[in-house]
Structure 1
Amino acid sequence: MYKINFENTIINYSINKKSNVKNITIKVKHPNIVTVVSPKSVNDEFIHDLVVSKSKWILNKINEFKNKESENPPILLVDGDKIPYLGNYYVLNVSKEKDIIKCSLTFNEDKFVAKVPYNISSNEQYIKLRELLINWYLTEGSKLIKERLTIYSKKLNLYPYSITLKEQKTSWGTCSSKGNIYINWKVLLAPLDIIDYVLVHELCHLKYMNHSKEYWSLVSTIFPDYKEKRNYLKENSLKLNI
């Protein structure tokens, strides 16, 4: 991890050198994750000078995330909260029960229903319900992801070795050189067409392990508006979270 100091703010950044890239790219993601992707031939001193020259832009991006974060307060998983799933929001009903010792969570008639012990603390309730909710996303989402993947695999004639739904901190999906696709469960909070785009994005990497013109041309055969969907994920990354 490297760092610079700009306007009394410490900016940490990491360097990811790749043999298949020609240009240097600086990526800023929430929360304050700055990554420089560069060709392997570029030395660290040159990259550091570049980051210094882009300090103002990087700090502005970080502040943009902070502003968006204040506009999108976190879900506390209390009675009346609205839980996102497939682009819609469903009310969470929480009832405190005296005769139970474990939290439970179900999805019934377009709403989430949770039962928690009567004397549970707010922090413990949040931790337990979040764990149950993520497990629900993983269970239900895995079924949906596999169904949607089958559709687009047939259209593209591209079939992964495996597909796994899990949490990823900095990406919506990844594809390994062995043909394993990993999808961030948080994408399940987005509308279905966005989920489909992420799946197509990763499927196309089975043929092109890069973001070349040929790669995007293949993506556009399914989603001509892929740029709009890509921008949706960038603009709504803070909303797609619990």
Structure 2
Amino acid sequence: MDRGPHRLAVVLNESEAGGSDGAVDAAALMARHGAEIVVVKRGPRGATVFERGGDAVEIPVYRSDSVFKIGSGDVFSAAFALHWGERGLAAASAADIASRSVASFVDGHALPLDDTTNQSAVAVRAADQRRIYLAGPFFDLAQRWLIEEAFRILTEFGAEVFSPLHEVGTGLSADAIAEADLEGLRGCSKVLGLLDGADSGTVFEVGYARALGIPVIALAERLDAENLTMIAGSGCEVVRDFTTAIYRVMWAGGR
């Protein structure tokens, strides 16, 4: 069947497009690939659609209770191709459906997705992007690796992160460390708490944050409900996997 003239859209992530600072040269990408559309996927911040001769359009990310990342990029690209390339929707509309499709997929891990996928999904808009306080123990290799990985990913997503390991370290007195850590915490708008191991310092930081009314995303993969009584009871959002914790703290404070 003749589908008319050849059309091309380039769908890629931020690192492929030029980085998380938003410096995307869409015109150069269009010229290089002979494309009329460029879609830049921005992880927990949605996507941006660039159209030749038009303004950039921001596409929201949609909330999900959990985030199973494997295959999510393929789902976005496939949904966009179907609705833009096959069904003729405007690029921004197709990208919005693709974003909804991703939210459904990462939450339910199931395919195929039908045309009514996630119509009631809630968009994350204007999430608070002030500093994230990264609370967690770093006394052994595994703990330190998790802190480093969380710090790296959040930074790559464009977040400003206060990490006691990176900003304060361990070479000061207990009084000086506590003062510096709590001063940093007071300057943050949300907390990611890595709670496995139930480190007393991390638990204290989480409680201090809640006393100040700062939202806390608490990652607890191995702690049982009994050990999370005060954490959950004080209004922390408890999640059970690392990727979901990263996304939920990025979304915290959004409308």
The alignment's TM-score, normalised by the length of structure 2, stands at 0.27
Task: Indicate the structure whose relative CO is greater, using CA pairs within 8 Å and at least 6 residues apart.
Answer: 2
Q: Which has the higher strand share?
A: 1
The alignment's TM-score, normalised by the length of structure 1, stands at 0.28
